[in-house]
């Protein structure tokens, strides 16, 4: 039983990925398993996957961030406003679009910083702080956009989520997919080989022990939530690219998909556990579920029930695993 448990811990997310794909391979229409739809699934995994990289760091540290979806909406609005005000009707240049993207990322990073600062200084549980930030960020997005969508001139950001930039070329995927891969590699290195990464696992495993060992827990918790905000900001730019406008109502409920991706990938709400590779697999599973259900004609409300059930089962299995270890 112990050997089986170790195998499931190591390969559970991959087995889940294979099972979900095979299920829709036979249940969904034939065009589900085409090369183009595979590229579509990878593209659909980008926004959740990038935000989940930051959520992985937060959950490993024993925290949670419910504001990720609202930060993504805020980032799309800020990006669109800069493009609208600095660009011209014929199109925005490379520099203007880059400045807009960086401004959107910065806005989300500042919100993440505030999350970490309030949690550390006021000693309020992350659930409450990020729940409040979820409402604050959503309200800011609606206020800045004047409760409507913000249209923008044409710009190169719109091309980041094009499913197949070069038609009928098997290796041609959306630039956002390559960005997700690069960020995943970078975060894998950070968590595995840097002092910051070791501190993240130490804080999540036992915060009191980490503090006794001399780790500045409060300072690192600020950094952890700042990193989470940063990745939500990058995801916001990808969401803007997908929508090609700023939408204050975007990404409602997306924080559940983001959290589910981390949990499915082996992250534990108890802290101290999680991996970048597992999170990416979890994000792809979520994309396959959404894509396969849409192709099979499964109603959206059934999808919500399915994803909620997956979160409960994943957390239940994690609790059972920890109970056996104890």
How would residue 325 be classed by pLDDT, with cut points 50, 70 and 90? low
- Please state, in angstroms and rounded to a whole number, the distance separating the CA atoms of residues 281 and 17: 7
Instruction: Find out whether 266 and 156 touch, Cβ atoms under 8 Å.
Output: no
User: Would you state the pLDDT for residue 174?
Assistant: 94
Q: Which phi and psi angles does 245 have, rounded to 5°?
A: -160, 170
* C-alpha span between 21 and 243 (Å, rounded): 27
> Among 44-58, 67-81, 166-180, 231-245, where is mean pLDDT lowest?
166-180
Which domain does 165 fall in, by range? 44-259
Split into its structural domains, the chain has a count of: 1
What's the token pair of residue 279? 């999170």
**pLDDT tens, 199-211?**
999 999 999 999 9
> Alpha-carbon distance 86 to 92, whole Å?
8
Kindly report which listed range (168-172, 221-225, 244-248) carries the lowest average pLDDT score: 168-172
The token pair that represents 40 in the structure block: 């579509």
For residue 90, pLDDT beyond 90? no
Q: Is residue 281 part of a domain?
A: no
What is the Cα–Cα distance from 255 to 72, expressed in whole angstroms?
10
**Structure-block tokens of residue 286:** 């979520």
CA–CA distance from 117 to each of 122, 126, 146, 161 (Å)? 8, 11, 29, 33
- The mean pLDDT of 266-289, rounded to a whole number, is 91
Q: Does an H or E element contain 150, and which?
A: strand 150-151
Residues 256-269 have a mean pLDDT of 90
- pLDDT band (50, 70, 90) for residue 221: very high
Domain assignment present for residue 1? The answer is: no
Task: Tell me which DSSP letter residue 230 carries.
Answer: H
Q: Determine the Cα–Cα distance for residues 232 and 226; give it in Å rounded to an integer.
A: 10
In a domain, 168, yes or no: yes
Give the per-residue pLDDT at 143.
96
Residue at token pair 């995927």: 173
Helices (H), the chain: 2-27, 35-60, 68-86, 94-122, 126-144, 175-193, 195-205, 207-212, 217-243, 254-264, 276-295, 300-325
Q: Specify if 195 maps to a domain.
A: yes
pLDDT-based confidence at 246, cuts 50/70/90? Answer: very high
Q: What is the pLDDT of residue 33?
A: 87
Residue 313 has pLDDT above 60, yes or no: yes
Average pLDDT (71-89) is: 92
Q: Check residue 250 and give its pLDDT.
A: 94
Res. 14: pLDDT tops 60: yes
322 located within any domain? no
Mean pLDDT, the chain, integer: 91
* Of 10 and 239, more confident: 239
Task: Compute the average pLDDT of residues 221-246.
Answer: 96
CB distance 79 to 256 below 8 Å: no
- pLDDT by residue (tens digit) across 145-174? 999 999 999 999 999 999 988 887 778 899
Angle between helix 276-295 and 35-60 (nearest 10)? 140
End-to-end CA distance of the chain: 15
pLDDT digits (tens, 9 = 90+) for 19-41: 899 989 888 888 898 999 999 99
DSSP string spanning 64-78?
--TTHHHHHHHHHHH
- For the stretch 177-191, pLDDT in tens is 999 999 999 999 999
How far apart are the C-alpha atoms of 283 and 64, rounded to whole Å?
Answer: 17
CB 200 within 8 A of CB 61: yes
At a CB cut-off of 8 Å and minimum separation 6, what does 297 contact?
none
pLDDT higher than 90, residue 91: no
Q: Is 212 helix (H, G, I), strand (E, B) or coil?
A: helix
What is the pLDDT averaged over residues 317-323?
Answer: 70
At a CB cut-off of 8 Å and minimum separation 6, what does 141 contact? Answer: 70, 73, 74, 76, 77, 248
pLDDT > 80? residue 9: no
pLDDT of residue 324: 66
Q: Does residue 297 or residue 103 have the better pLDDT?
A: 103
Q: What's the pLDDT at 323? A: 66
Residue 94 within a domain: yes
CA–CA dist 122, 107 (Å, integer) = 22
- Domain assignment present for 119: yes
Which residues are paired to 179 by β-bridges?
none
Q: Is 299 exposed, middle or buried (0-12, 13-18, 19+ CB in 10 A)?
A: exposed
What pLDDT is stored for residue 3 in this prediction?
61
| CA-to-CA separations, 90 to 79, 93, 97, 103, in angstroms, rounded | 17, 10, 13, 22
Judge whether 231 lies within some domain.
yes
């Amino acid at each position: 039983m112990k050997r089986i448990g170790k195998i499931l811990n190591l390969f559970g997310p991959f087995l889940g990925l294979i099972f979900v794909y095979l299920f829709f391979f036979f249940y969904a229409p034939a065009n589900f398993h085409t090369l183009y739809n595979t590229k579509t699934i990878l593209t659909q995994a980008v926004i959740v996957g990038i935000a989940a990289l930051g959520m992985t760091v937060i959950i490993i540290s024993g925290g949670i961030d419910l504001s990720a979806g609202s930060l993504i909406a805020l980032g799309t609005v800020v990006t669109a406003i800069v493009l609208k005000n600095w660009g011209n009707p014929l199109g925005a240049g490379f520099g203007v679009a880059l400045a807009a993207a960086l401004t959107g990322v910065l806005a989300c990073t500042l919100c993440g910083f505030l999350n970490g600062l309030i949690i550390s200084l006021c000693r309020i549980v992350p659930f409450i702080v990020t729940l409040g930030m979820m409402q604050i960020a959503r309200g800011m997005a609606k206020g800045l956009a004047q409760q409507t969508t913000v249209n923008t001139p044409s710009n190169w950001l719109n091309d980041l989520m094009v499913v197949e930039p070069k038609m009928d070329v098997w290796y041609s995927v959306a630039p956002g997919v390559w960005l997700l891969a690069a960020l995943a590699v970078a975060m894998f290195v950070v968590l595995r080989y840097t002092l910051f990464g070791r501190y993240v696992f130490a804080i999540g495993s036992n915060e009191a022990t980490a503090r006794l060992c001399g780790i500045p827990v409060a300072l690192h918790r600020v950094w952890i939530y700042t990193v989470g905000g940063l990745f939500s900001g990058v995801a916001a730019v990808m969401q803007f690219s997908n929508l090609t406008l700023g939408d204050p109502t975007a990404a409602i409920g997306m924080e559940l998909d983001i959290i589910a991706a981390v949990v499915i990938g082996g992250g534990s709400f108890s802290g101290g556990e999680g991996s970048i590779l597992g999170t990416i697999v979890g994000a792809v599973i979520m994309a396959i579920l959404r894509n396969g259900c849409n192709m099979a004609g499964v109603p959206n409300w059934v999808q919500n029930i399915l994803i909620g059930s997956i979160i409960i089962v994943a957390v239940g299995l994690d609790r059972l695993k920890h109970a056996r270890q104890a």
